[in-house]
Structure 1
Amino acid sequence: MKITIAKSLDDFYKQSAERIASKIIEKPKSIIGLSTGRTTGGIHKALVELYREKPFDTSQVTVFGLDEVTNISRECKASCYWLLLNQVVEPLGIPLSNFIMPDPFAKDLQRECRKFEDRVSNDNASDLQMLGIGENGHIGFNQPGTPFGSTTWISYLDDSLDERLRRENNIAPDVKMGGLTLGIKNIMWSKKIVLVASGKNKADIIEKALFGPVSEDVPASVLQLHPDCEAILDPEAAQQIVKHL
């Protein structure tokens, strides 16, 4: 695994954004998986700035979100669809027909999992998958204990994320949210993976994920086995791995 430690938080955002832009420029018809969250918001902002400074062709690229929160509207700002639409798809002029997300209100969520998986993996494995990481090591909504052989499935939100989404978006307590996510096996099919992490709260889990044993207790640790994976970290997230380098 390649490890890149940025000089600053701004440099972290810029370098991460450059990986996305470079892939689109290199392969205009590329399939790119994106993640949402507090870390990736800054990356997407930097990506839009790169695009505005020196526009590149986005008319043929396909973009999909790694996961989605079920049982909330796409108009809700907690929706991964809403975040990617407003942070990346519309600002970069990506055709809506090339933006793939699962339906959070599908009557048959298991069928929706299969449909989503068929569109973004297998023979159409993503050219680039951007990944964030949770403080417990989750990637997508693949929580600790998720089998490495898992494919697209209905997971759950960890308590801290559930609480934050409700607080920040006025989501009622009786709304039962879940997580429809590509599985770990789907993620590992990606041709290239970039794991991004910033902040001192990610330092412990980054050390476990990158230098600890490969274990389903730390889902992100499986990335050690991927043939083309890069971790991009800001100085705070990297503070506990310097001794390993």
Structure 2
Amino acid sequence: MNIVTFESTEELNEAGAGIVISLLQTKPDAVLGLATGGTPVGVYEHLVKAYRKGRLSFRKATSFNLDEYVGLPQEHPESYYSYMKQHLFDHVDLPVHQAHIPDGNAENPEEECRRYEAKLAEAKQIDLQILGLGHNGHIGFNEPDHTLVSGTHVVELKEETRKANARFFDSMDEVPTHAITMGVGMILKAKTILLIVRGEDKADVVHRALTGPIRTELPASLLQTHPNLVVMLDQAAAKHFQTQQA
């Protein structure tokens, strides 16, 4: 595990993007695991800038998103389909058929999970998985529980998760109650995992996840078992760590 703290948001974003850029420069057909939410926005902005400068291409790459809300129309501004188009896909040369996001509006969500899992199996292994961290320790939408599901599955979102995401909607009633998420097993199969955590409100949970007992009630704690985990923290999130300074 390599934990690095950054003095500024800009430095963190640039470093996170740098890992993706280096990967695509050395392996143009890399398989990328992509996250949504506020955490990776700045990283995607830097990737778009680098693409416009000709420093990288996504043309041969493949991407898989971690999750998608169930029942939220694709065109809804808070769907992860819309998010990815806004922040990355519409601005780079990643072919549409190589960018995979679970279909939250599938007639049979369980069948959609099986379809998505089969696509992941075809790709064999994600080269780089980008992760954020939920306030309750979830990764993707793998919520705390007595057991965790290894494969892609439908999950009922915890109340605290829905409350945390309510800021993106007009009201709590509009926040979806379920999502399709990549399972912890697939996440942990990635060659490299890049965990990005920002803010003092995440300082306690990231410290417990990376230094405390490994348990399914804190899904991110399973990241301790990964052989190539890179953790990037801002100063506020790193307050309980003594870490390498970037």
1:167-211: CA deviations, max 9, x gaps? 533468377531100111111111111111011111001110111
Moved more, 203-212 or 172-181: 172-181
Amino acid at match of 2:92: L
- TM-score, length basis structure 1: 0.92
Q: What's the counterpart of residue 44 of structure 2?
A: 44
Q: What's the counterpart of residue 179 of structure 1?
A: 179
Aligned-partner SS, 2:55:
coil
Q: 1:164 to 1:136 in 2, by over 3 A?
A: closer
Amino acid at match of 1:155: V
Name the count of aligned residue pairs: 245
The CA distance in 1 between the partners of 2:204 and 2:140, in whole Å, is 19
Q: 1:55 to 1:189 in 2, by over 3 A?
A: same
Q: What's the counterpart of residue 140 of structure 1?
A: 140
The CA distance in 1 between the partners of 2:239 and 2:77, in whole Å, is 32
Q: What's the counterpart of residue 18 of structure 1?
A: 18
Q: How does 1:3-82 map to 2 (within 5 A)?
A: 3-82=3-82
Q: What's the counterpart of residue 156 of structure 1?
A: 156
- 1:115 aligned onto 2:115: yes
Unaligned segments of structure 1, at least 5 residues = none
Identity of matched residues, %: 31
State the Cα RMSD in Å: 2.2
Unaligned segments of structure 2, at least 5 residues = none
Amino acid at match of 1:39: T
Amino acid at match of 2:239: Q
Q: What's the counterpart of residue 128 of structure 1?
A: 128
Aligned-partner SS, 1:42:
helix
Q: 1:165 to 1:222 in 2, by over 3 A?
A: closer
Q: Contact 1:157 / 1:179 at 8 angstroms: preserved in 2? A: yes
Q: CA deviation at 1:124?
A: 1.6
Q: 1:202 to 1:163 in 2, by over 3 A?
A: closer
Q: 1:217 to 1:163 in 2, by over 3 A?
A: closer
Aligned-partner SS, 1:68:
strand
Q: How does 1:196-235 map to 2 (within 5 A)?
A: 196-235=196-235
Aligned-partner SS, 1:213:
coil
